Copies of this chain bind each other. A is one copy, B any other.
Protein backbone atom coordinates (compact mmCIF):
# COMPACT_ATOMS: atom_id res chain seq x y z
CA UNK A 1 0.00 0.00 0.00
CA UNK A 2 1.73 3.13 -1.22
CA UNK A 3 1.23 6.54 0.31
CA UNK A 4 -0.36 9.32 -1.74
CA UNK A 5 1.24 12.71 -2.19
CA UNK A 6 0.47 15.08 0.67
CA UNK A 7 -2.36 17.59 0.47
CA UNK A 8 -1.58 20.96 -1.00
CA UNK A 9 -1.19 23.02 -4.13
CA UNK A 10 0.39 21.45 -7.19
CA UNK A 11 1.12 23.01 -10.53
CA UNK A 12 1.14 21.46 -13.99
CA UNK A 13 4.11 23.60 -14.95
CA UNK A 14 4.15 25.12 -18.40
CA UNK A 15 7.37 24.46 -20.26
CA UNK A 16 9.23 27.36 -21.80
CA UNK A 17 10.55 27.17 -25.34
CA UNK A 18 12.64 29.52 -27.44
CA UNK A 19 11.62 30.63 -30.92
CA UNK A 20 13.00 27.37 -32.32
CA UNK A 21 10.82 25.35 -29.97
CA UNK A 22 13.89 24.22 -28.01
CA UNK A 23 13.85 24.18 -24.21
CA UNK A 24 14.44 27.66 -22.78
CA UNK A 25 16.40 26.32 -19.84
CA UNK A 26 16.88 29.60 -17.96
CA UNK A 27 13.16 30.34 -18.15
CA UNK A 28 12.24 26.81 -17.09
CA UNK A 29 14.50 27.09 -14.08
CA UNK A 30 13.25 30.51 -13.08
CA UNK A 31 9.70 29.27 -13.37
CA UNK A 32 10.36 26.24 -11.19
CA UNK A 33 11.94 28.44 -8.55
CA UNK A 34 9.15 30.99 -8.58
CA UNK A 35 6.63 28.19 -8.13
CA UNK A 36 8.63 26.64 -5.29
CA UNK A 37 9.06 29.97 -3.58
CA UNK A 38 5.37 30.48 -4.01
CA UNK A 39 4.92 27.53 -1.71
CA UNK A 40 3.65 24.76 -3.95
CA UNK A 41 3.74 21.28 -2.49
CA UNK A 42 4.64 19.74 -5.80
CA UNK A 43 5.17 20.23 -9.49
CA UNK A 44 3.48 18.17 -12.18
CA UNK A 45 5.92 17.92 -15.05
CA UNK A 46 4.26 16.84 -18.30
CA UNK A 47 0.69 17.56 -17.59
CA UNK A 48 -1.22 18.57 -20.69
CA UNK A 49 -0.35 22.18 -19.89
CA UNK A 50 3.28 21.10 -19.83
CA UNK A 51 2.78 19.98 -23.46
CA UNK A 52 3.50 16.36 -22.60
CA UNK A 53 1.98 15.28 -25.88
CA UNK A 54 4.51 17.44 -27.76
CA UNK A 55 7.67 16.01 -26.21
CA UNK A 56 10.01 13.23 -27.20
CA UNK A 57 10.93 10.54 -24.72
CA UNK A 58 14.32 12.14 -24.12
CA UNK A 59 12.82 15.57 -23.62
CA UNK A 60 10.40 14.15 -21.08
CA UNK A 61 13.28 12.82 -19.03
CA UNK A 62 15.26 16.03 -19.41
CA UNK A 63 12.36 18.16 -18.22
CA UNK A 64 11.86 16.05 -15.12
CA UNK A 65 15.56 15.91 -14.27
CA UNK A 66 15.96 19.63 -14.85
CA UNK A 67 13.07 20.36 -12.54
CA UNK A 68 14.40 18.07 -9.83
CA UNK A 69 17.87 19.52 -10.11
CA UNK A 70 16.65 23.10 -10.03
CA UNK A 71 14.62 22.42 -6.91
CA UNK A 72 17.45 20.64 -5.14
CA UNK A 73 20.00 23.31 -5.98
CA UNK A 74 17.94 25.85 -4.10
CA UNK A 75 16.99 23.76 -1.12
CA UNK A 76 13.58 22.64 -2.32
CA UNK A 77 14.28 18.93 -1.91
CA UNK A 78 10.88 18.62 -0.25
CA UNK A 79 8.95 19.81 -3.29
CA UNK A 80 7.48 16.72 -4.90
CA UNK A 81 7.63 15.91 -8.59
CA UNK A 82 4.71 14.15 -10.26
CA UNK A 83 5.31 13.15 -13.87
CA UNK A 84 2.57 12.87 -16.46
CA UNK A 85 3.15 9.52 -18.12
CA UNK A 86 0.07 8.38 -20.04
CA UNK A 87 0.89 7.25 -23.58
CA UNK A 88 -1.33 5.71 -26.24
CA UNK A 89 -0.18 2.18 -25.39
CA UNK A 90 0.16 0.38 -22.10
CA UNK A 91 3.67 -0.55 -23.10
CA UNK A 92 4.90 3.00 -23.67
CA UNK A 93 3.16 4.12 -20.50
CA UNK A 94 5.24 1.58 -18.60
CA UNK A 95 8.38 2.96 -20.22
CA UNK A 96 7.45 6.50 -19.26
CA UNK A 97 6.80 5.38 -15.69
CA UNK A 98 10.27 3.86 -15.49
CA UNK A 99 11.83 6.94 -17.06
CA UNK A 100 9.95 9.20 -14.68
CA UNK A 101 11.36 7.38 -11.68
CA UNK A 102 14.86 7.46 -13.11
CA UNK A 103 14.64 11.16 -13.85
CA UNK A 104 13.52 12.04 -10.34
CA UNK A 105 9.74 11.86 -10.17
CA UNK A 106 8.05 10.49 -7.08
CA UNK A 107 4.63 9.83 -8.59
CA UNK A 108 3.26 9.19 -12.08
CA UNK A 109 -0.01 10.74 -13.26
CA UNK A 110 -1.43 8.49 -15.96
CA UNK A 111 -3.75 9.78 -18.68
CA UNK A 112 -6.01 7.16 -20.28
CA UNK A 113 -5.30 6.41 -23.97
CA UNK A 114 -8.07 7.37 -26.38
CA UNK A 115 -6.88 6.59 -29.90
CA UNK A 116 -9.69 4.06 -30.36
CA UNK A 117 -12.59 5.44 -28.30
CA UNK A 118 -14.93 2.49 -28.88
CA UNK A 119 -12.27 0.11 -27.61
CA UNK A 120 -12.06 1.97 -24.30
CA UNK A 121 -14.65 -0.11 -22.49
CA UNK A 122 -14.74 -0.06 -18.71
CA UNK A 123 -12.82 -3.33 -18.70
CA UNK A 124 -10.10 -1.98 -20.95
CA UNK A 125 -9.78 1.22 -18.96
CA UNK A 126 -9.33 -0.74 -15.76
CA UNK A 127 -6.98 -3.23 -17.38
CA UNK A 128 -4.85 -0.39 -18.76
CA UNK A 129 -4.37 1.40 -15.46
CA UNK A 130 -3.91 -1.84 -13.56
CA UNK A 131 -1.21 -3.17 -15.87
CA UNK A 132 0.56 0.18 -16.14
CA UNK A 133 0.63 0.45 -12.36
CA UNK A 134 1.58 -3.18 -11.70
CA UNK A 135 4.78 -2.55 -13.63
CA UNK A 136 5.48 0.89 -12.24
CA UNK A 137 8.42 1.53 -9.90
CA UNK A 138 6.58 4.52 -8.44
CA UNK A 139 2.97 4.92 -7.30
CA UNK A 140 0.55 6.14 -9.94
CA UNK A 141 -2.45 8.42 -10.05
CA UNK A 142 -5.39 8.62 -12.49
CA UNK A 143 -5.46 11.67 -14.74
CA UNK A 144 -9.04 12.32 -15.88
CA UNK A 145 -9.13 15.05 -18.52
CA UNK A 146 -11.84 14.51 -21.16
CA UNK A 147 -10.71 17.72 -22.87
CA UNK A 148 -7.60 15.96 -24.20
CA UNK A 149 -8.91 12.39 -24.48
CA UNK A 150 -11.58 12.91 -27.13
CA UNK A 151 -14.28 13.13 -24.48
CA UNK A 152 -13.36 9.93 -22.63
CA UNK A 153 -14.47 10.65 -19.06
CA UNK A 154 -13.89 8.21 -16.19
CA UNK A 155 -16.79 8.18 -13.76
CA UNK A 156 -16.72 7.80 -9.98
CA UNK A 157 -17.35 4.06 -10.15
CA UNK A 158 -14.37 3.39 -12.39
CA UNK A 159 -12.03 5.57 -10.37
CA UNK A 160 -13.27 4.01 -7.14
CA UNK A 161 -12.52 0.56 -8.52
CA UNK A 162 -9.02 1.66 -9.50
CA UNK A 163 -8.45 3.23 -6.08
CA UNK A 164 -8.43 -0.25 -4.60
CA UNK A 165 -5.15 -0.99 -6.34
CA UNK A 166 -2.43 -0.70 -3.65
CA UNK A 167 -0.19 1.38 -5.89
CA UNK A 168 -2.80 3.73 -7.38
CA UNK A 169 -2.84 6.55 -4.88
CA UNK A 170 -4.85 9.43 -6.23
CA UNK A 171 -6.48 11.31 -9.07
CA UNK A 172 -6.52 14.71 -10.74
CA UNK A 173 -10.05 15.57 -11.88
CA UNK A 174 -9.69 18.00 -14.75
CA UNK A 175 -13.30 17.32 -15.67
CA UNK A 176 -14.36 19.82 -13.01
CA UNK A 177 -17.12 17.51 -11.81
CA UNK A 178 -17.58 18.32 -8.12
CA UNK A 179 -20.22 15.61 -7.69
CA UNK A 180 -17.78 12.98 -8.88
CA UNK A 181 -15.08 14.40 -6.63
CA UNK A 182 -17.23 14.13 -3.53
CA UNK A 183 -18.45 10.63 -4.35
CA UNK A 184 -14.78 9.69 -4.14
CA UNK A 185 -13.68 11.78 -1.16
CA UNK A 186 -16.62 10.51 0.87
CA UNK A 187 -15.39 6.95 0.49
CA UNK A 188 -11.63 7.34 0.41
CA UNK A 189 -9.42 8.98 3.01
CA UNK A 190 -6.74 11.37 1.68
CA UNK A 191 -4.19 9.20 3.43
CA UNK A 192 -5.06 6.28 1.16
CA UNK A 193 -6.22 7.99 -2.04
CA UNK A 194 -5.71 11.68 -2.70
CA UNK A 195 -8.25 13.47 -4.87
CA UNK A 196 -7.28 16.78 -6.41
CA UNK A 197 -9.34 19.33 -8.25
CA UNK A 198 -7.85 19.69 -11.69
CA UNK A 199 -9.03 23.24 -12.29
CA UNK A 200 -8.84 26.35 -10.19
CA UNK A 201 -12.54 27.00 -10.61
CA UNK A 202 -13.33 23.94 -8.49
CA UNK A 203 -10.53 24.49 -5.96
CA UNK A 204 -12.22 25.63 -2.72
CA UNK A 205 -15.33 23.65 -3.60
CA UNK A 206 -13.08 20.62 -3.72
CA UNK A 207 -11.57 21.46 -0.32
CA UNK A 208 -15.06 21.78 1.11
CA UNK A 209 -15.81 18.35 -0.32
CA UNK A 210 -12.73 16.75 1.20
CA UNK A 211 -10.17 17.03 -1.59
CA UNK A 212 -6.44 16.93 -1.00
CA UNK A 213 -6.02 20.21 -2.84
CA UNK A 214 -5.54 21.28 -6.41
CA UNK A 215 -3.36 20.59 -9.45
CA UNK A 216 -4.27 23.39 -11.82
CA UNK A 217 -2.86 25.43 -14.68
CA UNK A 218 -3.60 28.79 -13.12
CA UNK A 219 -1.07 28.05 -10.38
CA UNK A 220 1.54 28.85 -13.03
CA UNK A 221 0.51 32.49 -12.72
CA UNK A 222 -0.33 32.69 -9.05
CA UNK A 223 1.13 29.97 -6.84
CA UNK A 224 1.12 32.08 -3.71
CA UNK A 225 -2.52 33.02 -4.04
CA UNK A 226 -3.46 29.37 -4.29
CA UNK A 227 -1.30 28.47 -1.30
CA UNK A 228 -2.87 31.33 0.65
CA UNK A 229 -6.30 30.00 -0.16
CA UNK A 230 -5.45 26.63 1.36
CA UNK A 231 -4.08 28.31 4.47
CA UNK A 232 -7.13 30.50 4.86
CA UNK A 233 -9.44 27.59 4.25
CA UNK A 234 -7.67 25.54 6.92
CA UNK A 235 -7.96 28.33 9.45
CA UNK A 236 -11.73 28.20 9.11
CA UNK A 237 -14.22 30.79 10.30
CA UNK A 238 -13.92 34.17 8.64
CA UNK A 239 -10.74 33.20 6.88
CA UNK A 240 -12.65 30.47 5.15
CA UNK A 241 -15.13 33.01 3.89
CA UNK A 242 -12.28 35.04 2.48
CA UNK A 243 -11.01 31.90 0.77
CA UNK A 244 -14.37 31.60 -0.94
CA UNK A 245 -14.12 35.20 -2.10
CA UNK A 246 -10.75 34.46 -3.62
CA UNK A 247 -12.29 31.35 -5.16
CA UNK A 248 -14.70 33.55 -7.09
CA UNK A 249 -11.76 35.50 -8.44
CA UNK A 250 -9.87 32.31 -9.34
CA UNK A 251 -12.91 30.99 -11.19
CA UNK A 252 -12.95 34.07 -13.39
CA UNK A 253 -9.20 33.93 -13.90
CA UNK A 254 -9.37 30.26 -14.85
CA UNK A 255 -11.88 31.05 -17.56
CA UNK A 256 -9.90 34.12 -18.61
CA UNK A 257 -6.71 32.12 -19.07
CA UNK A 258 -8.50 30.00 -21.68
CA UNK A 259 -9.91 33.11 -23.28
CA UNK A 260 -6.49 34.70 -23.78
CA UNK A 261 -5.21 31.61 -25.54
CA UNK A 262 -4.58 28.74 -23.16
CA UNK A 263 -1.02 27.52 -22.77
CA UNK A 264 0.56 30.20 -24.93
CA UNK A 265 -1.44 32.86 -23.13
CA UNK A 266 -0.30 31.69 -19.70
CA UNK A 267 3.34 31.74 -20.78
CA UNK A 268 2.97 35.21 -22.22
CA UNK A 269 1.36 36.54 -19.06
CA UNK A 270 4.15 35.03 -16.98
CA UNK A 271 6.81 36.48 -19.26
CA UNK A 272 5.29 39.91 -19.22
CA UNK A 273 4.72 40.12 -15.48
CA UNK A 274 7.47 38.01 -13.94
CA UNK A 275 10.30 38.74 -16.32
CA UNK A 276 11.36 35.39 -17.77
CA UNK A 277 10.40 33.41 -20.84
CA UNK A 278 9.59 34.85 -24.24
CA UNK A 279 6.85 37.45 -24.41
CA UNK A 280 5.48 35.57 -27.45
CA UNK A 281 4.51 32.60 -25.28
CA UNK A 282 6.07 30.09 -27.63
CA UNK A 283 4.32 26.73 -27.80
CA UNK A 284 4.83 23.80 -30.08
CA UNK A 285 2.55 23.50 -33.11
CA UNK A 286 -0.19 22.77 -33.91
CA UNK A 287 -0.90 25.11 -30.98
CA UNK A 288 -0.44 28.78 -31.62
CA UNK A 289 1.64 31.24 -29.60
CA UNK A 290 -0.12 33.93 -27.62
CA UNK A 291 -2.19 36.40 -29.60
CA UNK A 292 -0.95 39.90 -28.66
CA UNK A 293 -4.37 41.36 -29.52
CA UNK A 294 -5.85 39.50 -26.58
CA UNK A 295 -3.17 40.60 -24.14
CA UNK A 296 -4.36 44.20 -23.89
CA UNK A 297 -5.75 45.95 -20.87
CA UNK A 298 -9.01 46.67 -22.66
CA UNK A 299 -9.61 42.93 -22.93
CA UNK A 300 -11.60 41.97 -19.85
CA UNK A 301 -10.02 38.53 -19.69
CA UNK A 302 -6.53 39.94 -19.66
CA UNK A 303 -7.55 42.51 -17.09
CA UNK A 304 -8.73 39.73 -14.79
CA UNK A 305 -5.36 38.00 -15.09
CA UNK A 306 -3.51 41.23 -14.42
CA UNK A 307 -5.52 41.65 -11.23
CA UNK A 308 -4.53 38.16 -10.20
CA UNK A 309 -0.88 38.96 -10.90
CA UNK A 310 -1.19 42.05 -8.69
CA UNK A 311 -2.54 39.95 -5.88
CA UNK A 312 0.23 37.43 -6.33
CA UNK A 313 2.86 40.13 -6.17
CA UNK A 314 1.27 41.82 -3.18
CA UNK A 315 1.59 38.53 -1.33
CA UNK A 316 5.21 38.46 -2.40
CA UNK A 317 5.80 41.99 -1.21
CA UNK A 318 6.70 42.87 -4.78
CA UNK A 319 5.73 45.96 -6.75
CA UNK A 320 3.16 45.22 -9.45
Q: Chain A at the B interface: mostly helix, strand, loop or mixed?
A: helix
Q: Are B248 and A182 in contact (CB under 8 A)?
A: yes
Enumerate A88-135 residues with CB–CB distance to B below 8 Å.
88-92, 95, 112-117, 119-120, 124-125, 127-128, 131
Q: Are A21 and B54 in contact (CB under 8 A)?
A: no
Segment of A38-46, A162-170, A282-290 in the binding face: A282-290
Contact with B along A178-198 (1 / 0, CB 8 A): 111011011000000000000
Task: Return A220 CB to nearest CB of chain B, in Å.
Answer: 17
Q: Are A151 and B150 in contact (CB under 8 A)?
A: yes
Task: State in angstroms the CA–CA spacing of A126 and B156 once bound together.
Answer: 31
Segment of A26-34, A70-78, A200-208, A308-316 in the binding face: A200-208
Q: Are A53 and B88 in contact (CB under 8 A)?
A: yes
Q: Are B115 and A148 in contact (CB under 8 A)?
A: yes
Task: State in angstroms the CA–CA spacing of A1 and B319 once bound together.
Answer: 43
Pick the residue among B55, B91, B151 that contacts A284 (CB under 8 A).
Answer: B91
A199 at the interface (CB under 8 A from B): yes
This chain: copies in complex? 4
Task: Return A184 CB to nearest CB of chain B, in Å.
Answer: 10
For A, the interface residue count at a CB cutoff of 8 angstroms equals 63
Chain B hits for A209, CB < 8 A? 205, 244, 247-248
Q: Are B286 and A119 in contact (CB under 8 A)?
A: yes
Q: Are B285 and A127 in contact (CB under 8 A)?
A: yes
A255 at the interface (CB under 8 A from B): yes
Between-chain CB contacts (< 8 Å), 27 pairs:
A21-B91, A54-B91, A56-B95, A89-B284, A114-B150, A115-B148, A116-B287, A119-B288, A128-B285, A131-B285, A150-B150, A151-B151, A156-B255, A179-B201, A179-B202, A179-B251, A182-B205, A182-B247, A183-B248, A183-B252, A186-B251, A186-B252, A205-B208, A208-B208, A209-B244, A209-B248, A210-B248
Interface residues of chain A, those whose CB is within 8 Å of chain B, are 21, 48, 51, 53-57, 88-92, 95, 112-117, 119-120, 124-125, 127-128, 131, 147-151, 156, 176-180, 182-183, 185-186, 199, 201-202, 204-205, 208-210, 244, 247-248, 251-252, 254-255, 262, 284-288
